[in-house]
Structure 1
Amino acid sequence: MRKLVYGLLTMLLVALVGCVTINVYFPEAAAQKAADQFIGTVLDSSAPAAAPKGSEPPPKKGVQPSAMLLDLLIPAAYAADVPNLRIQTATTDAIHGRMQARFRDTLGALFNSGVVGFTQDGLVAVRDAGKVPLDQRSAINAAVADENRDRNALYREVASANNHPEWEPQIRSTFAKGWIERASPGWYYQDPSGAWKQK
């Protein structure tokens, strides 16, 4: 009789596991929160050099034993309750430090004067090189190239750190919106058509 009960329970468990569909979706809200924290500490020249914290899920309270069993059998099914996006790694910390220093030392003044602006794809571009002397343009182009190299690496690293490299376009888009939303009045940005606008 016991063997029959164990056999039925095993078949039921196999059927349950086989019927569970796990959808892996891009956690838009978590990505926006993480991007806002990262962007805020880069753009805020008074912010300390410490890297931003990744969004952490709240502790689970009152977890039922049945939920614990499901978590052991299918961890992703239970974890989907609290979407999380990992943004802090050794690589993103290094990128963050370089971006913050570059903004404080070079890019902040260039944004304020309208020389550079945010592009619609999450990068920085020289908008009006005529506002700076000819002998300073190569240094400005180098700073913009360094910034864009770090931004591309950031978006790629966040996607990889979350084991979803296919999320890179969504992460880039989330950050692009965040850079523009956090831009100071008077700074330039590109609209979706690529036209420059002033905030």
Structure 2
Amino acid sequence: MRRWMGMPIAAALALTACVTINVYFPAAEAREAAKEFVDKVIGEDAQPSTPVPASDEPAGDGGGMALHFDPLLLLGIGTAQAQGTPDITIKTPAIQAIQSRMASRFDSSLRKHFDAGALGFTGNGEVAVRDASKIALSDRVAVNKAVADQNRDARAVYREIAVANKHPEWESQIREVFAKQWISSARSGWWYQSGGSWKQK
């Protein structure tokens, strides 16, 4: 009898020990970090950030905080969440080196082709050739290389930001936030992809 009475107590102690730590993706902080990064790449003459209409935003949940039901609440046992909201840092040497390369390449090779309508931002946070006819034949090889290099650096920075913040699983959410920010910070007249088609800002 005594052994059976002890079992509910042991079960309650086991449930109490099963408190999980949920670290949610800090979407607002990620947006701030993305804006700082993107504006430095595009330059001082970038347009003030404007929200992208909901229908024009890249697919995905936007990296927002998902609703979470914790069944332990029914037993009076709460889920412990990380104290405070984690910041998204973009101040590591690796990230800043990538940012510097991307900014230099944007100024020297890409900006004039965005202005001409030849290039645009894609829905996945990269750059694409929208209209090759707007690029002189003699420049096309160099522009294609610059686009490829810019996209390689973009992919690297999304991964590096996630890793630097000790959450490599955030990479896809970081990319989604940046994809929206490139479009939001783009100058009037530049092109971007939405739903598989090109639109002019």
**TM-score (norm: length of structure 2):** 0.72
Partner in structure 1 of residue 134 of structure 2? 131
Partner in structure 1 of residue 198 of structure 2? 196
Q: Say which is worse superposed, 21-30 or 112-121, in terms of deviation.
A: 21-30
Q: Does 1:22 align with 2:24?
A: no
Separation of aligned partners in 1, 2:83 and 2:31: 17
Higher relative contact order, structure no. (Cα contacts within 8 Å, ≥ 6 residues apart)? 2
- Structure number with the higher helix fraction is 1
8 A Cα contact 2:22 2:81, kept in partner: no
Percent identity among equivalent residues? 54
Of 107, 110, 125, 1:107 maps to 110
8 A Cα contact 1:45 1:104, kept in partner: no
- Decide whether aligned partners of structure 1 residues 196 and 133 sit closer, same or farther in structure 2, where only a CA change above 3 A counts: same
Gapped runs of 5+ residues in structure 1? 1-13, 48-76
Partner in structure 2 of residue 165 of structure 1? 168
Of 82, 90, 98, 2:85 maps to 82
Cα deviation, residue 45, structure 1: 4.5
Separation of aligned partners in 1, 2:33 and 2:15: 35
The Cα offsets for residues 65-106 of structure 1, whole Å up to 9 and x where unpaired, read as xxxxxxxxxxxx685323211222111111010011111111
Separation of aligned partners in 2, 1:28 and 1:82: 10
Of 121, 137, 141, 1:118 maps to 121
The Cα offsets for residues 36-67 of structure 1, whole Å up to 9 and x where unpaired, read as 111111111469xxxxxxxxxxxxxxxxxxxx
8 A Cα contact 2:23 2:82, kept in partner: no
Q: Does 1:140 align with 2:135?
A: no
Partner in structure 1 of residue 63 of structure 2? none
Cα deviation, residue 21, structure 1: 2.6
Q: Does 1:37 align with 2:36?
A: yes
Partner in structure 1 of residue 182 of structure 2? 179
Equivalences, count: 157
Cα deviation, residue 20, structure 1: 3.6
